[in-house]
Chain A
């Protein structure tokens, strides 16, 4: 089981390139049980949407 430190890195990486299958599964399992990382994952997406609108 990966910890939040590791999961947060994977979340950020995943926004920039596809993760290998094993890592993706580890992340998915972690997100099932972790609210904080689920929020972070959503924040990364919201930041992306906000930055696209910046002009």
Chain B
């Protein structure tokens, strides 16, 4: 549920997706047949429901600010150097609970479309071409959104102090 809310940015839509998942699971109970553990199986169904819901919401276009690159250019000085240079992170950072919590908080701060595209790419593992098609955006826009997400997340995580060795 928490994960669905993060991805869909909308509590009602997330509740619907979870409910549809449980209904689909009940209907397909026989096909489960102990092939995997229950959580993995339900998460798999939920991912499909989330993508369905995203597809239904494609009328929500990314905002102009999300597609522009002015804010991204502003992260560098006139000679093209980082204003806030990336720091080394502990190699196994992602195994810490605190890191994951900070990451979830930072994800929630991303502009809506940026967060969706990033999660489709990195969490659901979609290829960029498929994301463009699903959400009816151009490859260039898709790429700008992914770039923005990565730049914003690294800055947000470093500000949280969690990446300090």
Contacts and interface: CB of A to CB of B under 8 A. Distances in A.
Contacts of A9: 147
Interface residues of A, number: 29
Contacts, number: 84
B154 A40 contact: yes
Interface string A5-37: 110110011011100000000000000000111
A4 B81 contact: yes
Given A17-B128, A47-B154, A53-B100, A36 B122 contact: no
B146 A12 contact: yes
B103 A4 contact: no
Interface size class of B (residues with CB under 8 A): 35 or more
Contacts of B81: 3-4, 36
Nearest to A16: B128
A8 B86 CA distance: 11
A17 to B, nearest CB: 6
Given A42-B89, A43-B89, A55-B43, A50 B94 contact: yes
Interface in B51-88: 73, 75-76, 79-82, 85-88
B94 A46 contact: yes
Given A16-B121, A51-B123, A53-B94, A40 B147 contact: no
